[in-house]
Amino acid sequence: MEKQGSRALLAAVIGMGVLLAVGSLVLVGVLVHRISHPRDSATDAAAGAAPAVAQMLPAADVGRLVLDEPAGTHIVSLARQGDALLAVALTGGGADRVILWDLVHNRIAGRMQVSP
């Protein structure tokens, strides 16, 4: 009886060792793949949206987007949804507001004013 228990324990230890080795190889493979194929991160939108617009639009369509905002206006935060929309939160120069910028067409898609 003791021989069967030790054989089962030996088989379990060997099986778990094989699973550990295979899991480690898969993890290393995923890391190598992610390092060799990087993706754009969400922080690229906060760093500057102009390069993203230049990549998505033909060179003839790239222009400056001028916001008609009062003096003293400051950008509080940016939030990007996919490659098409950028929400810009503004404060100062009046009530707080959010502007939705359509990156594909380089235009303002909407404005929201936050009431006090």
- pLDDT tens track for 14-71: 999 999 999 999 999 999 999 998 776 544 444 444 433 334 444 445 567 777 788 8
Q: What domain count does the chain have?
A: 2
Q: Are residues 31 and 69 in the same domain?
A: no
Q: Are residues 77 and 33 in the same domain?
A: no
Residues 77-92 have a mean pLDDT of 87
- Average pLDDT over the chain reads 79
Q: Are residues 25 and 59 in the same domain?
A: no
pLDDT at site 10: 94
Q: Are residues 9 and 64 in the same domain?
A: no
* Domain ranges, residue 73: 43-113
Q: Are residues 9 and 31 in the same domain?
A: yes
pLDDT over threshold 80, residue 95: yes
**What is the per-residue DSSP string for 36-47?**
HS----THHHHH
Q: Are residues 56 and 101 in the same domain?
A: yes
Q: Are residues 58 and 31 in the same domain?
A: no
| Chain Cα centroid distance, residue 1 | 58
pLDDT at site 68: 77
pLDDT at site 106: 83
